[in-house]
Amino acid sequence: MDDLAGPAADLRALRPSIGPVRLVAVDGHAGSGKSTLATRLAVALGGAPVLRLDDLATHEELFGWTDRLRAQVLEPLSRGEAARYAPYDWVERGFGPVRVLEPAPVVLVEGVGAGRRALRPSLAALWWMDLDRSLSRERGRRRDGPGLSAFWDGWTVAEDRHFAADPSRPHAGTLVRQLPVGYALSPGPGSASHGCPGSGGPVSPAQAHGDGASVTR
């Protein structure tokens, strides 16, 4: 049994935040394990769609994807329509075939900057993967290998610049800490905020089964 079932039920009970959708962000530093968490949370939600921000970013616009997200995803979902976006191919350096994202009861958006200022008004909840920046980057570099060392050098500068200007963690309603097996969840700084759609609410500590070995940016 997946122990993320309780937090998933809490998310389903939230008010829709954009059209009929409860948009839930999973943010954190690169290498902190956001993608793995989002995948497991999607399963606990019964197969919730997951939008990966790596599909909207590009080599030239690591954090300049806000307009693309708004036009291709947020606006259609706000009308109760399916979103259509072209994911970026990081090898071919171009956009690939269009993907469809249906307006499900809960839609997850995962990636560095998912809790950014421009997106928070559309969020029902914001989760922050609470792993130290240096540890996250160490894991990410180890995962990607020396061949992407130059990319990580550039990414580090861009991520630091982004979070300095537009931090997500202070607005997170839930902090998530990865354990040797599963996760521990606790109320985040944003859980005390009132009238902030992106703050979410406190979630009781829980563990999700998993080997904890798979980490993605």
Going residue by residue through the chain, which has 217 residues, state the pLDDT in tens, using 9 for 90 and above: 347 899 999 999 999 999 999 999 999 999 899 999 999 999 999 999 999 999 999 999 999 999 999 999 999 999 999 999 999 999 899 999 999 999 999 999 999 999 999 999 999 999 999 988 777 777 767 786 787 777 777 788 899 999 999 999 999 999 999 888 889 999 999 986 533 333 333 333 333 333 332 223 3
pLDDT of amino acid 192 = 65
Quote the CA–CA distance of 103 and 19 in Å, as a whole number. Answer: 8
Q: Record the pTM.
A: 0.84
Q: Where does 16-72 have alpha helices with state H?
A: 34-44, 66-69
Element (H, E) at 6: helix 5-12
In this structure, the chain runs to a length of 217
How many Å from the N-terminal Cα to the C-terminal Cα in the chain? 26
Residue 67 token pair: 């307009």
Contacts of 75 (CB under 8 A, 6+ apart): none
Instruction: Return the SS3 of 32.
Output: coil
CB count in 10 Å sphere of residue 177: 14
φ, ψ (nearest 5 deg) of residue 59:
-60, -35
